[in-house]
Amino acid sequence: MANVIRRQTPAARLGRGLLYGVLILAALFYILPLVVMLMTSVKPLSEISPGSLLSFPQNPTLAPWTKAWGEACTGMRCDGVGGYFWNSFAIVIPAVLISTTIGALNGYALTKWRFKGSELVFALMLFGCFIPFQVVLLPMAQTLGWLGISSSRAGLILVHVVFGIAFTTLFFRNFYVGIPNELVSAAKLDGAGFFRIFWRILLPVSAPIIVVSVIWQFTQIWNDFLFGVAFSAHNTQPVTVALNNLVNTSTGVREYNVDMAAAMIAALPTLVVYVLAGKYFVRGLTAGSVKG
């Protein structure tokens, strides 16, 4: 009871109010660039000047968004990011599904079906998380050429799957370490095999770490620029490359409202994913962070 009374004192309420005030100011500080981008994207070009960065639009318009969406690039000129927006989805969705599935199977095998050299295999895969992407550009380009899928969506999907497996394996391995081995042993005694144990026992309890893997991979692949610009052609470029082309191929007066609208379009999917599933991402990371 004394603790309850102390928490209700004016000093405690003042301290809580100050804490919330600091948190709100910090949130406003970090969200300010997004607000500026949004306001600029709905301003007519005549309202954009160096001194009007934080001013509200007087005559808001969606014309910059329409122009930013535009059409596909022709030659060296890019008229919008719309077509490449769907390119990114065509690359991200299969890459996320494949890398998450393989990572789950790897994590399961490395924890519940240990074999000779499994720790070495895991160490090598973990090492893959620290390899700079720039180091592998040339050998990866040669590999894609040998496979006949260079400058294609399939090639980009393969690149992202290869680099995503190291991270997803780490996530699932750390999560599955905390699941009792007795469950797997009992299933083996009942005659269950590798895939049946995974499907019936491991997968139903894997929702938190699956969310972590999907959000992590979705964000990394969607925001990727290096692989997109190195391993794609004009008609297979992701939205990040199209955004760069749009901003850097403008002629005449710089249309900042169109550039901001295009940046908002490119960032929208990751914003939606974090708004809808951000709390599950934190829970999933916490679930696997103290295991293994």
pLDDT at res. 93: 95
Q: How many CA atoms lie within 13 A of 260 on its CB side?
A: 22
* Average pLDDT score, the chain: 84
Q: 175 or 288, which is more confident?
A: 175
pLDDT at res. 45: 86
Q: 290 or 154, which is more confident?
A: 154
Q: How many CA atoms lie within 13 A of 227 on its CB side?
A: 28
Q: What is the pTM of this model?
A: 0.83
Stretch 110-139: mean pLDDT? 85
pLDDT at res. 71: 53
pLDDT at res. 5: 46
Q: How many CA atoms lie within 13 A of 122 on its CB side?
A: 21
Exposed / middle / buried, residue 128 (Cβ in 10 Å: 0-12, 13-18, 19+): middle
pLDDT range class, residue 72, cuts 50, 70, 90: very low
**Percent of the chain clearing pLDDT 70 (strictly above):** 88
Q: Where in the chain is the domain with CATH 1.10.3720.10?
A: 69-289
Stretch 56-66: mean pLDDT? 89
Residue 276: other Cβ atoms inside 10 A: 10
Stretch 223-230: mean pLDDT? 92
Stretch 210-214: mean pLDDT? 91
Quick one: 69-289 is in which CATH superfamily? MetI-like (1.10.3720.10)
pLDDT range class, residue 289, cuts 50, 70, 90: low
pLDDT range class, residue 155, cuts 50, 70, 90: very high
